[in-house]
Amino acid sequence: MKTYQIRTYEDVREALLARREIALLDVREEDPHAQAHPLFAANFPLSKLELDAYTRLPRRDVPIVLLDAGEGLAARAADKLTALGYTQVALLAGGLDGWIRAGGEVFRDVNVPSKAFGEFVEARRHTPSLSAEAVQTLLADAADVVVLDARRFDEYQTMNIPGSVSVPGAELVLRARALAPDPKTRVIVNCAGRTRSIIGAQSLVNAGLPNPVAALRNGTIGWTLAGQPLEHGSDRQFDPRAGLNTHYLAASRGAARALADRAGVSRTTLDEAARWAAEASRSIYRFDVRAPAEYERAHAPGFQGAPGGQLVQETEMFAPVRGARVVLFDDDGVRANMTASWLAQTNIDVYVVDGATPQDLSASGAWRGAKPEPAPTPNVSADELAALLADPSSGTVVIDVTASANHVKAHIPGAWWLVRSRLSNTFDDLRTLPDAKRYVVTCATSALAPFAAPEIAALTGKPVHVLEGGTSAWIRAGQPTETGDARLASPRIDRYRRPYEGTDNARDAMNAYLEWEYGLVAQLERDGTHGFFVI
pLDDT tens-digit map of 298-316: 999 999 999 999 999 999 9
Q: Which residues contact 415 (CB under 8 A, 6 or more apart)?
A: 398, 399, 400, 407, 442, 487
Same fold, 5-109 and 117-238: yes
Region 346-359: what's the mean pLDDT? 97
Strand boundaries in 124-220, DSSP class E: 129-130, 145-149, 165-166, 186-190, 213-216
Region 347-372: what's the mean pLDDT? 96
Summarised one tens digit per residue, pLDDT across range 439-459 is: 999 999 999 999 999 999 999
Third-level CATH fold of 117-238: Oxidized Rhodanese; domain 1 (3.40.250)
What is the pLDDT of the chain when averaged over all its residues?
96
Question: Ramachandran region of residue 5, left (φ > 0), alpha (ψ -120 to 50) or beta?
Answer: beta
Summarised one tens digit per residue, pLDDT across range 194-246 is: 999 999 999 999 999 999 999 999 999 999 999 999 999 999 999 999 889 99
The span from the CA of 434 to the CA of 417, in Å, is 13
The span from the CA of 360 to the CA of 363, in Å, is 9
Summarised one tens digit per residue, pLDDT across range 89-140 is: 999 999 999 999 999 999 999 999 999 999 999 999 999 999 999 999 999 9
Q: How confident is the model at residue 280 (pLDDT cuts 50, 70, 90)?
A: confident
Region 312-338: what's the mean pLDDT? 98
Per CATH, is 379-476 categorized as 3.40.250.10?
Answer: yes
Residues in the chain: 535
> Could you tell me how far CA 480 lies from the centroid of its own chain?
32
Residue of 331, 333, 332, 285 whose CA lies nearest to 311? 285
| In the chain, domain spans | 5-109, 117-238, 257-360, 379-476
Residue of 114, 86, 105 whose CA lies nearest to 12? 105
CATH class of 257-360: alpha beta
| Kind of pairing between the strands at 325-329 and 42-43 | unpaired
Give the per-residue pLDDT at 452.
Answer: 98
Q: How far is CA 110 from CA 38, 92, 107, 150, in A?
A: 11, 20, 9, 18
Give SS3 for 360: helix
Give the per-residue pLDDT at 40.
Answer: 98
Residue 503 has pLDDT above 70, yes or no: no
Return the CATH number of the domain spanning residue range 5-109. 3.40.250.10
Give the per-residue pLDDT at 119.
Answer: 97
Q: What pTM was computed for the model?
A: 0.96
Residue 63 has pLDDT above 80, yes or no: yes
Strand boundaries in 79-192, DSSP class E: 89-92, 129-130, 145-149, 165-166, 186-190
Summarised one tens digit per residue, pLDDT across range 83-97 is: 999 999 999 999 999
Q: How confident is the model at residue 56 (pLDDT cuts 50, 70, 90)?
A: very high
The span from the CA of 154 to the CA of 366, in Å, is 17
Residue 38 has pLDDT above 70, yes or no: yes
Q: How confident is the model at residue 256 (pLDDT cuts 50, 70, 90)?
A: very high
Summarised one tens digit per residue, pLDDT across range 422-442 is: 999 889 999 999 999 999 999
CB–CB of 167/175 below 8 Å?
yes
Residue 50 has pLDDT above 70, yes or no: yes
Give the per-residue pLDDT at 498.
Answer: 84
